[in-house]
Structure 1
Amino acid sequence: MNAISWNCRGLGNSRAVRALRDVIKSLRPNIVFLMETLSKTERIKHLCSKLGFDNYWAVDCVGRSGGVAMLWKNNVKCNVVGFGSNYIDAQVMNANDVLWRLTGFYGFPERTRRRESWELLKSIANRSVLPWVVVGDFNDMISMNDKKGTHAHPPALLDGFKQTIEDYRLIELDLMGGKYTWEKCRGKPEWVRERLDRAFATTSWWSLFPLCKLNVHHCVHSDHEPIQLEFYSTEHSRKKFRFRFENIWLKEENFHEEVSAHWRNLNPSHFLSKLVEISSFMEKWGKRFFNKFREKIRKQKELVALFEDCADATRTSRYFEEKKILEDLLLSEELYWQQRAKSFWLQDGDSNSKFFHAYATGRRKKNQIDKLKNENGEVVTK
């Protein structure tokens, strides 16, 4: 599932519609939020079906400016709960019936009205305690690094917008694919690039979508680039995202080095998303390790067998050395299954780990829920 936000600067001409159709065809979004449509509701209604969407909500432009719209498909449970000339606020429901908020926001482009934008954002934030993500063209920046070109952005505006975000503990999503989303005067000395389009989310929303991504995509028609918000929920398959740390990994010489290197190479982002990424890396590392682990035992047994019938002192000594290595490997395997079985009361067990393997399998069966009794006292098995 993903959503697109784009300041399209008018949908009254064929070039703009063609560019929008190309973006939708390439990214296949479930939800689209459009700003500066410069269109009336009837025009959006016509475009909705033409672009392959089933539902829409539009706010008319005023004169030759403004206009916002949200389009979505039937495979998304979306309900608009608030709107205005600069925003559309919707409640979205996950496949597992978890409710959250998605707000498309367009900040006032006039510098003299920036405070109005901040107050509007605060007003929307106070309307619900649901997990919330807000995306759009804020016409504002947080730091000097958000702009490249002539005339630095006024520090007072930077501080005001940043304070608004901090007041509601919103966390910005890292933008991938480019640093800026708007430009003017390309190829000229006064070429200016700015990051105006962005997305912010509450901690509770991050918990629902720790793997979310925000990408910027190039559009040939407009000076504004569309941004794509990809949702990756951990709720659809809890088993898929379940992570278990294995103590036996710590015995591997290269474990710390590889994990540390991967952590350092991750993009700076919300801590929860980095934690999920490093957990995923360790899970894949562990699978490779266990396959190598069994292969090591097999090869070590073959090596011990080579020296088993040797009588001379040198080769006998080698036999005991290789046998000690095999015993260490078998102990490591035992500890692996011991942790998985959560049976710590047995200090020394059968080195073939059959007991622990059976115990772990038994725990899985024991933890399975075969039936539930509902509030009417009926037993439900499916």
Structure 2
Amino acid sequence: MGNDVSRGVRDGNPKNYRRSGGGWWPAPPTAMKILSWNVRGLGNSRTFLALQKILQQQRPLILFVCETKLTAKQMYETSRKLKIDNCLAVNRNGKGGGLAMLWYNEANVHVTSYSNHHIDARVQREDGSWMRCTGIYGHPEMSQKHHTWILLKRLADLFDIPWLCFGDFNEILHPNEKLGGNDRNVNMISEFREALCECNLIDLGCKGYPFTWSNGRFGQHFVEERLDRFLCNKKWREKYVDCAVVNLETWTSDHCPIIMEVQAKGSALSYARKRTSRIHYEDAWSSYEGCKDIVDKEWRRHGNWKCADPVWLFKQTTKSSMAQLKNWSNAEFKGRQQKLEKLTAKLKELRHNGVNIVTGRKLRELKVRSRTSCLTKKFIGSRGLGQIG
């Protein structure tokens, strides 16, 4: 694998790609959800925080990201910061590209192959059966698109098990999946459809906003397309419930994240984990004087450490400090969370009402307010409130 891939090791078995380390762990997933997103660069803080928030709200078990624009080593460090147990990352190509598949320990994932345009893995379910998950990043250049279809056909011949294929295919399946601009090349659309037919893959559709990519322009230059999707084969549809893919809202990438929940027919939700109400210390608190004052006050208040059992005293002081920090955090950050939710709802309303097509002024204003007011390094967001509220 050379320098193209970063991975961890679990119990001496390199197939499991486990990362070790301490720190805060997000609330665990309640079902097997899979998230796919062309992040258009994961090195900037806005996109990282947006992804972090999506993980906290949607709680996917498996995540595929493309166009990370990171080296494998940088992506591995990013997965550590996201507190995701496992990661396989493919190096960026020059200043672009870069892929990664990340997953929590609840998923038994075995990566079977990868390239600059795909990561293919087998996932073992609780009943011992296997399904296949393949993340795809299609060639964006028109002259190279046929290589994506060749890749799909080769992958289709490898395993005869339920198959879920997802990602940014950089092509549409139907003319109505594009709004604005010049018409798509009909031959390119036909080649995509023919490739899926040969691979016995079908589109799973979507809910939410119908397009997943926008060129970010307005008026007569405005263009939107549905480039990101989930596909499956016949065996997958026979075994799993047809849960609609959801196109999520975001303002940090020109692509929307897409997410799907996987559930076997006739069974309860898989991979359920019990949520706890434990209070966790947030690293972001450390930069606030209010946090420092609380910690200093509580540790001074508990008296002389030489005259008491240090273990008991440590527990009491920590418990008292966290109780005070809980109240402080709710007061400090709750208003920011509510503000972000209102701005996001307004962005969604404007987008669905077609404001993009006519004028971008209101949309731009709301995006700037969302970025500057809420997605800052010091913004705790739903993670902190969800854990301590």
Q: TM-score, normalised by structure 2?
A: 0.60
Task: Tell me the equivalent position of 1:142.
Answer: 173
Task: Tell me the equivalent position of 2:68.
Answer: 37
Contact 1:96 1:236 in 2 (8 A): no
Instruction: Output aligned runs, 1:177-192, within 5 Å.
Output: 177-192=208-223
Pick aligned residue for 1:19 from 34, 50, 57: 50
1:222 aligns with 2:253: yes
Give 1:73 shift.
0.1
In structure 1, distance between residues paired with 2:38 and 2:216: 18
In structure 2, distance between residues paired with 1:83 and 1:21: 25
Give 1:180 shift.
0.3
Q: Choose 1 or 2 for highest CA Rg.
A: 1
Contact 2:35 2:60 in 1 (8 A): yes
Task: Tell me the equivalent position of 1:206.
Answer: 237
Task: Tell me the equivalent position of 1:92.
Answer: 123
Task: Tell me the equivalent position of 1:107.
Answer: 138
In structure 1, distance between residues paired with 2:199 and 2:43: 37
In structure 1, distance between residues paired with 2:237 and 2:81: 34
In structure 1, distance between residues paired with 2:83 and 2:61: 10
Percent identical among aligned pairs is: 34
In structure 2, distance between residues paired with 1:183 and 1:118: 23
Give 1:134 shift.
0.3
Contact 2:216 2:254 in 1 (8 A): no
The one-letter code sitting in structure 2 at the alignment partner of 1:33 is F
Task: Tell me the equivalent position of 2:184.
Answer: 153
1:51 aligns with 2:112: no
Contact 2:165 2:231 in 1 (8 A): yes
In structure 2, distance between residues paired with 1:98 and 1:51: 29
In structure 1, distance between residues paired with 2:242 and 2:178: 27
In structure 2, distance between residues paired with 1:130 and 1:84: 21
Give 1:151 shift.
0.2
Partner SS for 2:221:
coil
Task: Tell me the equivalent position of 2:59.
Answer: 28
Deviates more, 1:211-220 or 1:57-66: 211-220
Instruction: Output aligned runs, 1:220-299, within 5 Å.
Output: 220-234=251-265, 236-237=267-268
Contact 1:148 1:193 in 2 (8 A): yes
Task: Give unpaired runs (5+ residues) of structure 2.
Answer: 1-31, 270-389
In structure 2, distance between residues paired with 1:122 and 1:171: 14
In structure 2, distance between residues paired with 1:237 and 1:146: 34
1:163 aligns with 2:194: yes
Give 1:52 shift.
2.1
The one-letter code sitting in structure 1 at the alignment partner of 2:168 is D
Give 1:63 shift.
0.9
In structure 2, distance between residues paired with 1:188 and 1:221: 21
The one-letter code sitting in structure 2 at the alignment partner of 1:82 is S
Task: Tell me the equivalent position of 2:34.
Answer: 3
RMSD (Å) for aligned C-alpha atoms = 1.3
Instruction: Output aligned runs, 1:313-328, within 5 Å.
Output: none
Give 1:237 shift.
4.7
Partner SS for 2:265:
coil
1:78 aligns with 2:109: yes
In structure 2, distance between residues paired with 1:177 and 1:184: 19
In structure 2, distance between residues paired with 1:84 and 1:144: 29
Give 1:16 shift.
1.3
Give 1:211 shift.
3.3
Task: Give unpaired runs (5+ residues) of structure 1.
Answer: 239-382
Partner SS for 1:112:
helix
In structure 2, distance between residues paired with 1:237 and 1:30: 16
Give 1:187 shift.
2.8
Give 1:235 shift.
5.3
In structure 1, distance between residues paired with 2:227 and 2:124: 28
In structure 2, distance between residues paired with 1:168 and 1:49: 35
Aligned residue pairs, count:
238
Q: TM-score, normalised by structure 1?
A: 0.61
Give 1:217 shift.
0.2
In structure 2, distance between residues paired with 1:135 and 1:211: 15
Deviations 1:103-144 (A, max 9, x none): 000100001111111111111111111111100000011111
The one-letter code sitting in structure 1 at the alignment partner of 2:146 is R
In structure 1, distance between residues paired with 2:120 and 2:198: 20
Divergent runs of 4+, >6 A: none
Task: Tell me the equivalent position of 1:126.
Answer: 157
Task: Tell me the equivalent position of 1:62.
Answer: 93
Task: Tell me the equivalent position of 2:366.
Answer: none
Task: Tell me the equivalent position of 2:3.
Answer: none
Task: Tell me the equivalent position of 1:322.
Answer: none
In structure 2, distance between residues paired with 1:211 and 1:156: 30
Deviates more, 1:157-166 or 1:45-54: 45-54
Task: Tell me the equivalent position of 1:172.
Answer: 203
